[in-house]
């Protein structure tokens, strides 16, 4: 039985442990080298009193691709069961879900074949990524990891790139950083994909170095947006700019380096449609939900 107000637990290699319990050795390979793969997934309370995970198979398929690159065995069915089990265990209907597969202890060398492999799934009651009414964005002096060096998957070590950009943007008083490439093309934000609206037409920014976001795919399906490369100049010229991601959902950009964007009716409507879909209020999209 679920004990209310009990400390949250996480699923770790097949058992439940207190979320703040020390489990993994400090000599874990992933802690030193970032040799892990994670996902960011959400569950939403649905109108029928239940809860559903949004596009769980797609998230786990992306996680498997990262694991394959690192030689980490990944069992999607097991991770699905762990995800549902930990949500039930913590009695959470609205949750941010963080599965993590990583290289453990055994060797301090770089060869991952010499170390153990682990999987955990943690849940968080709230997801804070880009909270608030609007986001003030700035172009980052940092370049995004090029896909030819670090493929745009959720590899732990790759996120130092996002952390650097976020830190630098925050130091200059902005909420979030926008990566632009050496040719002036927009890539993405530190944890969200970028869209623009111009004369009513919705465009998804396309770039080889950007994470293929599941929210981006969702928004494209809901809006009929077309994907294509976009220059920073064109973004600054847009009527509306918004970003999207599992944590960010659909969030309006109110400012980009001093350029202020208007009211954003298209963004507002899309944010609403997205909210309906994830909460199970759009029967045509029910196939995207995994009931808890």
Catalytic residues: 154
Strand 226-228 and strand 51-54: the pairing is unpaired
Cα–Cα distances in angstroms (integers) from residue 253 to residues 74, 133, 261, 264, 292, in the given order: 36, 9, 7, 9, 33
Q: CB of residue 224 vs ligand PMP: minimum separation in angstroms? A: 18
For residue 178, state whether it binds ligand PMP (rule: CB under 6 A).
no
Span interacting with ligand PMP, options 169-177, 190-198, 252-260, 262-270, rule CB under 6 A: 190-198
DSSP state of 185: B
Strands (DSSP E) found in 76-154 = 95-103, 117-124, 135-139
Tell whether residue 246 is a contact of ligand PMP (CB under 6 A). Answer: yes
- For residues 236 and 259, the answer to whether their CB atoms sit within 8 Å is yes
Question: What letter does residue 237 receive in the DSSP assignment?
Answer: T
- Please identify, among the stretches 67-75, 184-192, 197-205, 276-284, the one whose residues bind ligand PMP according to the rule CB under 6 A: 184-192
Tokens (6 digits) for 180: 């632009």
CA distance 177 to 1: 44
Number of residues this chain uses to bind ligand PMP (CB under 6 A): 13
**Pick from 8, 36, 191, 264: which binds ligand PMP (CB under 6 A)?**
191
Contact with ligand PMP (CB under 6 A) among 29, 118, 166, 216: 216
Interface segment toward ligand PMP; rule CB under 6 A; list 119-127, 168-176, 195-203, 208-216: 208-216
Residue closer to ligand PMP by CB (options 104, 144) is 144
Q: Measured from the CB atom, is 106 or 229 closer to ligand PMP?
A: 229
Planar angle of CA 159, 124, 246, nearest 5 degrees: 55
Instruction: Work out the widest C-alpha separation in the chain, in whole angstroms.
Output: 57
At closest approach, how far in Å is the CB of 103 from ligand PMP? 20
Q: Which residues bind ligand PMP (CB under 6 A)?
A: 40, 162, 188, 191-193, 211, 213-216, 245-246
């Amino acid at each position: 039985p679920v004990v209310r107000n009990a400390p949250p637990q996480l699923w770790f290699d097949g058992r439940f442990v207190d979320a703040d319990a020390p489990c993994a050795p400090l000599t874990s390979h992933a802690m030193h080298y970032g040799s892990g793969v994670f996902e960011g997934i959400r569950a939403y309370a649905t109108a029928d009193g239940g809860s559903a995970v949004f596009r769980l198979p797609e998230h786990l398929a992306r996680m498997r691709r990262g694991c394959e690159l690192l030689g980490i065995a990944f069992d999607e069915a097991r991770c699905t069961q762990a995800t549902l089990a930990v949500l039930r265990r913590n009695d959470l209907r609205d949750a941010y879900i963080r599965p993590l597969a990583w290289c453990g202890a055994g060797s301090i060398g770089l060869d991952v074949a010499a170390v153990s492999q682990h999987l955990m799934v943690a849940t968080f009651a709230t997801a804070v990524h880009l909270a608030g009414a609007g986001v003030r964005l700035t172009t980052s002096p940092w370049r995004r990891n090029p896909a030819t060096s670090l493929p745009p998957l959720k590899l732990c070590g790759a996120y130092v790139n996002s952390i650097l950009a976020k830190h630098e943007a925050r130091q200059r008083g902005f909420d979030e950083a926008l990566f632009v490439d050496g040719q002036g093309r927009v890539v993405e934000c530190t944890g969200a994909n970028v869209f623009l609206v111009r004369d009513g037409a919705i465009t998804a920014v396309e770039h080889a170095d950007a994470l293929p976001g599941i929210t981006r795919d969702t928004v494209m399906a809901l809006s009929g947006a077309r994907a294509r490369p976009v220059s920073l100049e064109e973004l600054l010229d847009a009527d509306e700019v918004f970003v999207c991601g599992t944590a960010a959902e659909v969030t309006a950009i109110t400012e980009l380096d001093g350029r202020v964007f208007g009211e954003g009716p298209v963004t507002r409507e899309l944010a609403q449609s997205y909210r309906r879909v994830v909460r199970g209020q759009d029967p045509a999209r029910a196939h995207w939900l995994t009931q808890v």
